[in-house]
Amino acid sequence: MMQNFSQNPQLTHLDSQGEARMVDVSAKEPTRRHAVAAAQVRMSAATLEAIQTGNAPKGDVLATARIAGIMAAKQTSQLIPLCHPLPISKVEVSLTPDSHLPGYQIRAEVITKAETGVEMEALTAVSVAALTLYDMAKALEKGMVIESIRLVSKTGGKSGDYLREEDKSSSAYTGES
């Protein structure tokens, strides 16, 4: 017996036969969409110091990771099968040293005016920035850990605004620029 998937409105990416499809957003009005994502890379204090002082064998770890994150956000629809290509208005990626980890806190902010949101673009940006940081510093330490990739906040769209509960006290992650 064939199940009729079109009767379940929560399954937006499945057609009536249960096959994956890209959602048609053509009837939606473009609105301003904003998303912030975060991740962290944990490493030894020695590796953190080497990156901070510019003594990594491959060169400027942070600049390379920042550019990689920006590029990744712009290519998200080519990486995630059902994502829509979007006109990205802004991508900002920051890597902040955190001696308590030790390691880096990574943050990406993405803005567009479109029919759908940029959460996946922000998540892709922090993920690729973290992977690039790892690649650039793996000669120093192979045991680095990429962790806590998460959506921090998003605004715009039918589903409304979202602010991750544990990040509500951190205005650094929620302020729009």
* Residues labelled as active-site residues: 135
Please state, in angstroms and rounded to a whole number, the distance separating the CA atoms of residues 5 and 16: 5
Strands 145-155 and 103-114: unpaired
Backbone angles phi, psi at 38, to 5 degrees: -145, 160
| C-alpha span between 135 and 141 (Å, rounded) | 10
Q: What is the DSSP letter of 30?
A: P
CA distance 17 to 49: 55
